[in-house]
Amino acid sequence: MFAEDFQERPYWWDAAEPALREAALPATCDVAIVGGGYTGLSAAITLARLGRQVVVLDAERIGWGASSRNGGMVSGTPKPSLAELTARFGAETAMAISQAITQAFPFLEELIAREGIDCDYVRCGRFVTAWGPGSYRRLEAGVDAVVARTGFSARMLPCDRQREALGTDFYHGGMLTDAVGSLHPGKLARGLAQVAEQAGVTLVDRTRVDGISPGYTLATSRGPLAARQVLVATNGYSTMPDGTQALPFLARRMVPVASFIIATEPLSYGLIDRLFPGRRMITETRRVTNYYRPSPDGTRVLWGGRASFGRTTAREAAPTLYHRMLSVFPELEDIRISHAWLGNVSFSFDFVPHLGVKDGVHYAAGCQGSGVAVMSWLGHNAALKMAGAANAPFALDGLHFPTAPLYRGDPSVVLPAIGSWFRLRDWIDRFA
Ligand SMILES: Cc1cc2nc3c(=O)[nH]c(=O)nc-3n(C[C@H](O)[C@H](O)[C@H](O)COP(=O)(O)OP(=O)(O)OC[C@H]3O[C@@H](n4cnc5c(N)ncnc54)[C@H](O)[C@@H]3O)c2cc1C
């Protein structure tokens, strides 16, 4: 199934590999930002435009994390439903949280347009496939709420019409929603970095932050950096592979989960339009979920999903994704895989993104698997708050931020059990 020139690295890096930078580490700055993904870069742009001298540090390259590895699906959809949020936070706060997350989608659209970022952005819509008949009924019950929340249209496609949106009979129909776009994530990361540099931000790569002292001096692998303010924007890498935690408080509240993607070789002319009429983004209601799409140039299928809940390489996980792809698109059986890669998303224990302050250090994290728009928006709001420029309260700011007893940032002991439970539930839901 692997092409001769198969590469275990993001397909996106063929066109937009995170660049190496030469900037030296300054001794001081107004604001130091730890993490050079969408969160950190978006915050840096806003702070620089408000006159702050900003340094962004990344242990790897700027944009190396999830921000240059993701599926490129742009949405502002809260993970918990409004009913779940209401049960947890009460009606007023729940509505405010839901609205705050929904605002991420127009924010990113506007940012891309305003800054002229060349990232293949298209507002293409999404088809949310129903895994079973019960999932279809639940989607149908929520259509009006999606329309009310987003202000965009949404409608159901039953089984016998699903080929209008997707070239398969595999699902039980699904929901079409227009408040979703697609882009090239590597180009977005590169574009944000360029905008930040043009705004005067110093981007320092290959510089690990090992700790932050109470006076806001960062201990880094290249020496100290004294800052007036610090923002930690490390999301799914709040515990780095070597165990480094810039802000242990945050790491103890983030559950990093690997997400895997494969890219096919270029397909024959016309096949993409048969598989993806309308070229929408595709997601599933099943718990061990898949998400997939055509590549921006319309030549390949990019198929992502939770291929493993254990420690697995992208190459080891690729056959699982490949066979799931064939079960939906059997006509791809002669097509080989050109790329496979993985990256970390991050869940909080309450499935809500968080912005806050711990001992004077600001943080913004918790994408819940979907952060292209949401984390850019969170970074912007963190920046407004830090600069004292926010003109309204932000509903995701300062919420109680739960952790679990004995949890220190490594979920590898419990994730396989959660994966087994999800697979069992999916098996039941396929027929229920
Ligand atoms: C495979 C995959 C598919 C996805 N698909 C989608 C999708 O289709 N749509 C969507 O909306 N979202 C998707 N996401 C989620 C989305 O990519 C993330 O929410 C988003 O990129 C998070 O941005 P970030 O800036 O917060 O974190 P990241 O981009 O992960 O950046 C964090 C950075 O912090 C750095 N760092 C960590 N610790 C330190 C330290 N101590 N010192 C210095 N630097 C440090 C890391 O090197 C890293 O570069 C996906 C994610 C993955 C992995």
The pLDDT tens digits for 317-358 are 999 999 999 999 999 999 999 999 999 999 999 999 999 999
7 within domain boundaries:
yes
Q: Which of 55, 108, 183, 234 has most ligand 1 atoms within 8 Å of CB, for mutation?
A: 234
pLDDT of residue 78 exceeding 90, the answer is no
pLDDT value at position 80? 86
Q: Give the nearest ligand 1 atom to 374 CA.
A: 11
Closest residue to atom 51 of ligand 1, CA basis? 70
pLDDT at site 83: 87
Strands 223-232 and 28-34: parallel
Q: What is the pLDDT of residue 86?
A: 93
The answer to whether residue 432 sits within a structural domain is: no
Whole-angstrom distance, CA of residue 29 vs CA of residue 53 = 6
Looking at ligand 1, which atom is closest to the CA of residue 291? 8
Pocket test for ligand 1, best of 342, 370, 377, 378 (most atoms within 8 A of CB): 370
Pick the residue whose CA is nearest to atom 2 on ligand 1: 70
Residue 415, pLDDT score:
87
> Atom of ligand 1 at shortest distance to CA of 240?
38
Distance (angstroms) between ligand 1 centre and the Cα of 360 equals 23
Q: What is the pLDDT of residue 46?
A: 98
**CA 98 remoteness from chain centre:** 17
Task: Give the pLDDT of residue 264.
Answer: 98
Domain that holds residue 267: 2-125+180-417
Report whether pLDDT(12) > 90: yes
What percentage of the chain exceeds 90 in pLDDT? 89
Candidate from 9, 190, 242, 372 with most ligand 1 atoms within 8 A of CB, to mutate = 372
What pLDDT does residue 194 have? 98
Count up the domains in the chain and report the number.
1
Domain for residue 166, yes or no? no
* 214 Cα: distance to centroid of ligand 1 (angstroms): 26
Tell me which residue has its CA closest to atom 16 in ligand 1: 371
pLDDT given at position 360:
96
Q: Give the least confident one: 35-44, 105-114, 187-196, 305-314.
A: 305-314
For a mutational test of ligand 1's pocket, the pick from 375, 376, 396, i.e. the residue with the most ligand atoms closer than 8 A to its C-beta, is 375
Ligand 1 lining (C-beta closer than 6 Å): 34-40, 57-60, 64-67, 69-73, 208-209, 233-237, 240, 244, 246, 259, 261, 291, 304, 343-345, 367, 370-372, 375
In a domain, 422, yes or no: no
Q: What is the pLDDT of residues 185-234, one digit of tens each?
A: 999 999 999 999 999 999 999 999 999 998 889 999 999 999 999 999 99
In a domain, 163, yes or no: no
In which band, very low, low, confident or very high, does the pLDDT at 298 lie, cut at 50, 70 and 90?
Answer: very high
Does some domain include residue 156?
A: no
Please give the number of the atom of ligand 1 that sits closest to the Cα of 40: 25
Look at residue 429 and tell me if it is in a domain. Answer: no
Residue nearest to atom 8 of ligand 1 (CA): 71
Q: Which atom of ligand 1 is nearest to the CA of 58?
A: 44
Q: What is the atom index within ligand 1 of the atom nearest the CA of 372?
A: 11
Q: Is the pLDDT of residue 172 over 90?
A: yes
Q: What is the pTM of this model?
A: 0.97
Pocket test for ligand 1, best of 345, 351, 352, 378 (most atoms within 8 A of CB): 345
Give the tens place of pLDDT for each residue, 129-171: 999 999 999 999 999 999 988 899 999 999 999 999 999 999 9
Q: What is the CATH number of the domain that holds 341?
A: 3.50.50.60
Whether residue 385 is contained in a domain is answered as yes
In the reported structure, the alpha carbon of residue 302 is separated from the centroid of ligand 1 by a whole-number distance in angstroms of: 18
Distance (Å) from CA 282 to ligand 1 centroid = 21
Q: Check residue 308 and give its pLDDT.
A: 85
pLDDT of 164: 96
Average pLDDT over the chain reads 96
Where do we find the tokens 């990232």? 119
| pLDDT for the residue 309 | 85
Task: For residue 155, give both structure tokens.
Answer: 């409608």
Q: Whose CA is nearest to atom 49 of ligand 1?
A: 65
Mean local confidence (pLDDT), 269-280: 95
Cα 332 to ligand 1 centroid, rounded to whole Å: 30
Closest CA to 77 of 368, 412, 392: 368
CA nearest to 369, candidates 312, 279, 304, 300: 304
pLDDT, tens digit (0-9, with 9 covering 90-100), for 384-418: 999 999 999 999 999 999 999 989 999 888 888 88
**At residue 17, does pLDDT exceed 90?**
yes
